[in-house]
């Protein structure tokens, strides 16, 4: 009854266990405001409560049950909050929470008193939460989420002492390697999920055969292994790990023992049922583990910094664990799990002990630290025991798993025949190194004479600082002496999760009798001590030949070189040249167009329409166009001449509009043309021709080629279009313009009614252009181009001035005429506005800006606003009649004595358009005109001064 109740509680507890550290992190931040110890107690309580939450789940999990929970989150993307507690998860959870609790305790004493610890504990808890998430995730994407949370939080933890260069670099290095590995893992897990059809581990783990047989298996394997190896510090991704000891010692102790690096091997264990059992696994995992095992051990002894030594020993032991998984026998997997436990215990205690020594001595250099046994015998004893375990001394836990390793190397299935001895020999040699660096740690720190020049006198640390170490060393002994009782059941449960097809019978015992593995152990011991004894020779060799690369510097250099390379690349591909951008655009569009056409073979360029007969006017117009366009190009360096030729083009285009029955367009084009010319001439005063910048002839050739290709493309498309008939909706406009829009000029009805919304946008563009110009020119000071500066004495020829005055009212009358009739005949607000603006503009031209501006005291901005509002309000009026925006209405009025005439809301709209056009153009022109006046005033005032 009670059990059932608990198992119902299981999912809740599981979710709770995962939430606790994250919520706890926030609590700690709050507690730290109160006091340092409050922070410590809160943090400890958080970890402990995680353990407490685990207790009810223990029996079932130990008996092999798998507890899963699932809160759907993004099911269609395969991401749910799905958790799982099995033997493997339990093993790691215990390590994470148990050692985490000890670390918190230890840190409370270790961390300097000025540190309020809020940030520290919060990060540490969040990191622990991330680790828990990794080991408890049922959903692989969720696992990855937590995986990267550990990368992120470890980044922040390593950089905890961020004032130090080493810490900052080490943090970024760790992020680069482990975060990068995480990305590979992400790809691997996504693929894996795709193959399995689910991201749930339960499903994935059941599909090992399918996965191993899948063509993507090698890819998945490599990607997942990249994740695992980077995280667990396997060669050649190991380098971040030694640098990570820039973190405060409690962090290092945690990262190196129970977490972070263990996440990597956890992953190997987690996916062992799915990914192992192939030759590729054997080769990749086995060889990586072997190389890392040996390399870490070899380098460790060379480190004078004892934290460095320990770091490399971590690499080596993680290599060993990886190698064990790689050996791919059931027993080796068990050994791997066992060694995970053992390594966590002894490495945590070693780091804590090392932290105490560092704390007491103020240095970590073993060449200066000597004879610590004398100063702190109790701590030294603890350290020696832990180091013994690391070396694999019998009766200590490390010995047991190492012995299992040696056993598995003997007669391994991959090494048959004459190669049988290879693996045991390798294991023994690696063992020799392990013994040697352990020996160095013990002898060089605790014995080896007197300390050299220490900043302070070491003594035993506070009682409670040592306490966590005592607990752990106690475990080293307990597991070492009574392995089956201490860890037998949990190992069994964990192995059950890793080896679903059956856990081999194993008995953890201290004594297995005289056998080859024991002989290997003894040999390793003897040779290892000898090796340590002859170390000076080795150090000499190392000093002489080993490359001296400090990895933080190297990392920063690589990063910088990458940055430089990127800058260089960017400079090559992006010259920040508009000319290049434009040329690229032309090339791109041409290629895309050609591809689009060519990819549908068999379509002719010429369509079925018979061609329209050519007439003389067309040929004359073409001649004009040719002269105009080519002239503009040829004389583009002579500014004024180019403008003249451009005007010819404008004239011809207007003429073409007339010729092909578009009077409205012709009117608009003609008026716009005039304003454009005036605008260009206004600017030409300040813009030199192409005097300074000349293109090389090669460039001209290239541009000419591009232009011809582009022009030919457009011509071809136009030709293809013109020679084909098409079916259009515009019949509707022709049919409904008068009956529905109340106007006979269909173009105008389209502009103010059918597509009045376009026109509303268009006047906004015009208004903005003028305003933008105003904003740009505002306060701008320009020197006129030298040649244009000489001005004629007779600035405003009297003939011009006098004749333009009568023209103004007459042109305004024409403008009104065009405005009023636009709905029915060519014209409308645009053209009328342009005419009115030009009429006023003429006054500028004829009599100068002073004269004109004095007489045109309009507030253009207000007129612009009014025009926009009138046009919009006309559109809004239809809301009163419950019609959509811009629904027009019209009617015929017949006052007495006067013939009936039409009133249309569209006409009001057109008045808005009219106002905007007039105000925009006049604003633009008067602003450009102000430029010269500004310059003139400046000149005259400077003349007065001198």
Partner 1 sequence: MIVDIVISLLILVGATFALVGSIGLARLPDFFTRLHGPTKATTLGVGSVVIASLIHSGAATGGVSLRELAISLFLFITAPVSAHLLAKAALKTRANRSAKP
Partner 2 sequence: MSHLPILPVLIPFLTAGLLLATHGMGTGFKRAVSSISVVALVVVSLLLLIESGDGSIRAYRLGDWPAPFGIVLVTDRLAAIMVTLTAMLAAAALLTALSGTDTEGRHFHVFFHLQIAGLNGAFLTGDLFNLFVFFEILLLASYALLAHGGGVTRTRAGLAYVVLNLAGSALFLIALGLTYGTLGTLNMADLARVLPMVAFGDQALVRTTLALLVAVFVLKAALLPLGFWLPHVYTAATLPVAVLFVIMTKVGIYALLRVSTIGFVTAPFTADLLQPWLAWLAIGTIALGSIGALAAARLSVVVANIVMISSGTLLLGVAAGGVNAYAAMLYYLVNTTVVTAGLFLLADRVSRQRGAVADFFEKGPRMAGILATGGAYLILAVAASGVPPLSGFLGKIMVMQSLQETSTAVGAWAAMLLSGFVVALVLARAASRFFWEPGLPDEEASTPEPVRQISSNTGSTDAALSGMIACAIVIVLGAAPISDYMRATADQLARPAGYVEAILGDSPAIRRERRP
Partner 3 sequence: MLNFVIPVALAMLAIAMGLNLLRLVKGPSTPDRILALDTLTINTIAVVMLIGITASSAAYFEAALLIAMMGFIGTVALCKFLLGGDIIE
> By the criterion CB under 8 A, which residues form the site for partner 1?
790, 792, 794, 797, 799-800, 803-804, 806-807, 810, 814
Strand-pair partners of 662: none
868 binds, among Na ion, partner 3, partner 2, none (CB under 5 to 8 A by kind): partner 2
Residue 663 touches partner 3, criterion: CB under 8 A = yes
Those residues with Cβ within 8 angstroms of residue 919's Cβ, 6 or more apart along the chain or in another chain: 767, 770, 858, 860, 861, 863, 864, 867
- Closest to 128 in 3D by CA, of 85, 167, 157, 160: 157
Site string (776-805) toward partner 3, x via CB under 8 A:
--------xx-xxxxxx-xx----x-----
Among 416, 501, 536, 599, which residue sits at the site for partner 2 (rule: CB under 8 A)? Answer: 599
222 binds, among Na ion, partner 1, partner 3, none (CB under 5 to 8 A by kind): none
Question: In the 8-state DSSP scheme, what is residue 893?
Answer: E
Q: Are 177 and 227 in contact (CB under 8 A)?
A: no
707 binds, among partner 2, partner 3, partner 1, none (CB under 5 to 8 A by kind): none
Nearer to partner 3 by Cβ, of 518 and 820: the residue is: 820
CB of 763 to partner 1, least distance (A): 28
Taking contact as CB under 8 A, which single stretch among the options 185-193, 314-322, 425-433, 674-682 is the one that binds partner 3? 674-682
CA distance linking residue 599 with residue 593, whole number of Å: 10
To the nearest 10°, report the CA torsion of 932, 936, 939, 941. Answer: -130
Q: What residues from 703 to 742 belong to the interface with partner 2 (CB under 8 A)?
A: 714, 717-718, 720-722, 724-734, 736, 740
Nearer to partner 2 by Cβ, of 539 and 568: the residue is: 568
Residue with tokens 């002489």: 544
CA distance linking residue 944 with residue 946, whole number of Å: 5
Residue 148 touches partner 2, criterion: CB under 8 A = yes
Q: What residues from 151 to 210 belong to the interface with partner 2 (CB under 8 A)?
A: 151-152, 155, 159, 162-163, 168, 171-172, 175-176, 179-180, 183-184, 186-187, 190, 194
Residue 210 touches partner 3, criterion: CB under 8 A = no
471 binds, among Na ion, partner 2, partner 3, none (CB under 5 to 8 A by kind): none
CA distance linking residue 400 with residue 337, whole number of Å: 12
Residue 370 touches Na ion, criterion: CB under 5 A = yes
Those residues with Cβ within 8 angstroms of residue 57's Cβ, 6 or more apart along the chain or in another chain: 6, 10, 13, 14, 67, 85, 90
Q: What residues from 515 to 574 belong to the interface with partner 2 (CB under 8 A)?
A: 559, 562-563, 566-567, 569-570, 573-574
CA distance linking residue 736 with residue 44, whole number of Å: 82
Question: In the 8-state DSSP scheme, what is residue 258?
Answer: T
Taking contact as CB under 5 A, which single stretch among the options 98-106, 354-362, 432-440, 445-453 is the one that binds Na ion? 445-453
Structure tokens at 437: 């660096």
Q: Which secondary structure element, helix H or strand E, spans residue 759, and what is its range?
A: helix 756-777
370 binds, among Na ion, partner 1, partner 3, none (CB under 5 to 8 A by kind): Na ion
To the nearest 10°, report the CA torsion of 383, 384, 388, 391. Answer: 80
- Closest to 427 in 3D by CA, of 347, 352, 519: 519
Which ranges constitute the DSSP H helices of 35-75? 36-54, 58-62
CB of 764 to partner 3, least distance (A): 26
CB of 670 to partner 3, least distance (A): 5
806 binds, among partner 1, partner 2, partner 3, none (CB under 5 to 8 A by kind): partner 1
Residue with tokens 């057109």: 910
CA distance linking residue 249 with residue 461, whole number of Å: 15
803 binds, among partner 1, Na ion, partner 3, none (CB under 5 to 8 A by kind): partner 1
Q: Are 250 and 157 in contact (CB under 8 A)?
A: no
Residue 924 touches partner 3, criterion: CB under 8 A = no
CA distance linking residue 665 with residue 655, whole number of Å: 10
Which ranges constitute the DSSP H helices of 482-550? 483-498, 516-533, 535-545
Taking contact as CB under 8 A, which single stretch among the options 286-294, 345-353, 522-530, 845-853 is the one that binds partner 3? 845-853
To the nearest 10°, report the CA torsion of 208, 210, 215, 218. Answer: 0
CB of 837 to partner 1, least distance (A): 17
Site string (114-133) toward partner 2, x via CB under 8 A:
--------------------
Question: In the 8-state DSSP scheme, what is residue 825?
Answer: S
Helix, coil or strand: residue 185: helix
623 binds, among partner 1, partner 3, partner 2, none (CB under 5 to 8 A by kind): partner 3
Residue with tokens 């167009």: 593
CA distance linking residue 58 with residue 3, whole number of Å: 11
Residue 878 touches partner 2, criterion: CB under 8 A = yes
- Closest to 187 in 3D by CA, of 226, 132, 214: 226
Taking contact as CB under 8 A, which single stretch among the options 46-54, 585-593, 822-830, 839-847 is the one that binds partner 2? 585-593
Taking contact as CB under 8 A, which single stretch among the options 278-286, 514-522, 613-621, 912-920 is the one that binds partner 3? 613-621
CB of 774 to partner 1, least distance (A): 30
510 binds, among Na ion, partner 3, partner 2, none (CB under 5 to 8 A by kind): none
Residues that bind partner 3 (CB under 8 A): 616-617, 619-620, 623-624, 627, 631, 640-641, 643-645, 647-648, 651, 654-655, 658-659, 661, 663, 666-667, 670-671, 673-674, 677-678, 681-682, 684-685, 784-785, 787-792, 794-795, 800, 811, 814, 818, 825-827, 831, 835, 838, 841-842, 844-846, 848-849, 852, 925, 929, 932-933, 936
């Amino acid at each position: 009854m009670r059990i059932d109740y608990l198992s119902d509680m299981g999912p809740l507890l599981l979710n709770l266990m995962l939430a606790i550290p994250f919520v706890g992190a926030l609590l700690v931040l709050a507690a730290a405001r109160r006091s340092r110890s409050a922070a410590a107690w809160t943090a400890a309580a958080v970890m402990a409560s995680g353990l407490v939450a685990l207790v009810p789940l223990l029996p079932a999990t130990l008996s092999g049950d798998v507890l899963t929970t699932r809160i759907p989150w993004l099911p269609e993307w395969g991401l749910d909050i799905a958790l799982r507690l099995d033997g493997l998860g339990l093993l790691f959870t215990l390590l994470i929470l148990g050692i985490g609790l000890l670390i918190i305790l230890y840190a409370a004493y270790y961390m300097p008193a000025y540190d309020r610890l809020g940030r520290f504990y919060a990060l540490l808890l969040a990191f622990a939460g991330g680790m828990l998430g990794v080991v408890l995730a049922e959903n692989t994407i969720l696992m990855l989420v937590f995986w990267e949370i550990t990368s992120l939080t470890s980044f922040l933890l390593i950089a905890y002492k961020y004032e130090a260069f080493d810490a900052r670099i080490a943090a970024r290095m760790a992020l680069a390697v482990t975060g990068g590995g995480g990305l590979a893992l992400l790809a691997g897990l996504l693929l894996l999920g795709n193959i399995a059809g689910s991201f749930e581990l339960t499903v994935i783990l059941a599909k090992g055969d399918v996965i191993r047989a899948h063509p993507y298996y090698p890819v998945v394997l490599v990607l997942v292994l990249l994740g695992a190896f980077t995280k667990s510090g396997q060669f050649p991704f190991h380098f971040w790990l030694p640098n990570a000891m820039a973190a405060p010692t409690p962090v290092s102790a945690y990262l190196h023992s129970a977490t972070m690096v263990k996440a990597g091997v956890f992953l190997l264990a987690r996916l062992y049922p799915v990914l192992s059992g192939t030759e590729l696994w054997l080769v990749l995992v086995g060889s990586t583990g072997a190389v890392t095992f040996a390399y870490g051990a070899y380098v460790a002894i060379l480190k004078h910094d004892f934290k460095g030594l320990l770091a490399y020993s971590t690499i080596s032991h993680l290599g060993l664990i990886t190698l064990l998984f790689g050996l791919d026998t059931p027993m080796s997997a068990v050994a791997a799990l066992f060694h995970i436990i053992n390594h966590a215990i002894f490495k945590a205690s070693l780091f804590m002990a090392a932290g105490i020594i560092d704390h007491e001595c103020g240095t970590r250099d073993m060449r200066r630290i000597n004879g610590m046994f004398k100063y702190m015998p109790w701590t030294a004893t603890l350290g020696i025991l832990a180091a013994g375990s690391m070396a694999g001394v019998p009766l200590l836990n490390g010995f047991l798993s190492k012995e299992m390793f040696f056993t598995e190397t003997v007669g391994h299935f991959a090494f048959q025949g004459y190669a049988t001895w290879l693996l045991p020999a390798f294991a023994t040699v690696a063992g020799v190194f392990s013994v040697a660096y352990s020996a160095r740690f013990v002898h060089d720190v605790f014995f080896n004479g007197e300390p050299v020049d220490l900043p302070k006198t070491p003594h035993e640390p506070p009682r409670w600082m040592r306490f966590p170490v005592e607990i752990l060393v106690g475990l080293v002994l307990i597991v070492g002496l009574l392995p089956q009782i201490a860890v037998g059941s949990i190992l069994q449960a964990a192995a059950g999760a890793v080896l679903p097809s059956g856990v081999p019978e194993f008995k953890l015992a201290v004594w297995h009798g005289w056998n080859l593995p024991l002989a290997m152990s003894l040999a390793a011991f003897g040779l290892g001590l000898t090796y340590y004894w002859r170390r000076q020779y080795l150090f000499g060799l190392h000093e002489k030949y080993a490359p001296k690369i400090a990895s933080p510097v190297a990392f920063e250099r690589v990063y910088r070189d990458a940055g430089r390379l990127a800058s260089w690349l960017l400079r090559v591909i992006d010259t920040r040249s508009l000319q290049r951008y434009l040329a690229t655009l032309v090339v791109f569009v041409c290629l895309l167009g050609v591809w689009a056409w060519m990819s549908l073979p068999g379509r002719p360029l010429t369509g079925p329409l018979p061609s329209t007969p050519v007439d003389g006017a067309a040929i004359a117009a073409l001649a004009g166009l040719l002269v105009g366009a080519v002239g503009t190009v040829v004389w583009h360096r002579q500014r004024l001449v180019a403008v003249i030729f451009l005007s010819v083009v404008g004239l011809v285009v207007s003429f073409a509009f007339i010729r092909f029955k578009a009077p409205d367009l012709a009117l608009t084009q003609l008026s716009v043309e005039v304003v454009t010319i005036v605008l260009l001439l206004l600017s030409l005063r300040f813009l030199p021709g192409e005097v300074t910048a000349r293109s090389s002839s090669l460039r001209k050739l290239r541009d000419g080629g591009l232009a011809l290709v582009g022009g030919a493309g457009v011509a071809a498309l136009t030709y293809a279009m013109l020679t084909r008939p098409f079916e259009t909706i515009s019949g509707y406009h022709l049919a409904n313009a008068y009956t529905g829009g109340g106007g006979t000029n269909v173009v105008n009805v389209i502009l103010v009614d059918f597509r009045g919304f376009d026109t509303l946008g268009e006047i906004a563009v015009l208004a903005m252009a003028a305003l933008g110009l105003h904003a740009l020119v505002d306060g701008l000071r320009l020197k006129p181009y030298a040649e244009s500066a000489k001005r004629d004495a007779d600035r405003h020829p009297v003939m011009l001035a006098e004749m333009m005055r009568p023209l103004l009212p007459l042109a305004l009358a024409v403008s009104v005429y065009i405005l009023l009739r636009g709905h029915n005949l060519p014209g409308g607000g645009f053209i009328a506005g342009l005419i009115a603006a030009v009429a006023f503009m003429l006054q500028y031209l004829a009599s100068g800006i002073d004269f004109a501006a004095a007489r045109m005291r309009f507030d253009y901005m207000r007129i612009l606003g009014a025009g926009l509002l009138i046009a919009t309000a006309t559109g809004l009026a239809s809301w009163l009649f419950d019609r959509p925006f811009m629904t027009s209405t019209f009617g015929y009025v017949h006052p007495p004595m006067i013939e009936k005439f039409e009133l249309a809301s569209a006409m009001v709209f057109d008045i808005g358009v009219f106002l905007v056009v007039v105000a925009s153009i006049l604003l633009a022109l008067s602003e450009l005109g102000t430029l010269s006046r500004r310059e003139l005033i400046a000149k005259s005032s400077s003349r007065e001064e001198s």
